[in-house]
């Protein structure tokens, strides 16, 4: 039975990690159009780093932030524009964020399925003793 407990632990840690990843991606997507003055730092997307845990499973190793320089965009109609009509936008690609969101959602769903299968195996093992 230790093998099944290990499965639950590994999948549980993956669920926690995918949940944090999806939260970071959601924040990144929500701020993809956040513009600032050119004298300020751009919104920095959160990038989740994951590592294998000793004994199985995964954990968040850290959170990196994207480039604070962002990109300079010409938008003279913005109230935040400088004298040249430029603003600072985050260096966040919506397509990259959405692709990562799909991968994170699928990983989360797959690990939920693994936990469900382990639960079914536990229930079947309990029925054997009856």
Q: Residue 55's CB: how many other CB atoms inside 10 A?
A: 8
Number of domains observed in the structure of the chain: 1
Domain enclosing residue 76, as ranges: 2-128
Question: DSSP string of 69-103?
Answer: T-EEEE-TTSTT--TTSEEEE----HHHHHHHHHH
Of the candidates 44, 40, 46, 27, which has an alpha carbon nearest to the alpha carbon of residue 80? Answer: 40
pTM: 0.84
pLDDT (tens place) for every residue of the chain, 130 residues total:
456 678 888 999 999 999 999 999 999 999 999 999 999 999 999 999 999 998 889 999 999 999 999 999 999 999 999 999 999 999 999 999 999 999 999 999 999 999 999 888 888 888 887 7
Q: Is the separation of the CB atoms in 64 and 51 below 8 Å?
A: no
């Amino acid at each position: 039975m230790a093998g099944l407990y290990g499965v639950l632990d590994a999948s549980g840690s993956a669920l926690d990690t995918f949940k944090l990843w999806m939260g970071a991606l959601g924040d990144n997507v929500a701020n993809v159009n956040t513009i600032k003055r050119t004298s300020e730092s751009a919104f920095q997307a959160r990038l989740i780093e994951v590592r294998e845990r000793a004994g199985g499973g995964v954990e968040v190793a850290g959170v990196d932030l994207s480039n604070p320089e962002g990109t300079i965009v010409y938008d003279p109609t913005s109230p935040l524009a400088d004298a040249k009509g430029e603003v600072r936008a985050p260096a966040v690609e919506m397509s990259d964020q959405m692709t990562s969101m799909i991968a994170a959602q699928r990983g989360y769903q797959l690990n939920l399925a693994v936990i469900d299968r382990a639960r079914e195996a536990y229930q079947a093992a309990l029925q054997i003793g009856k």
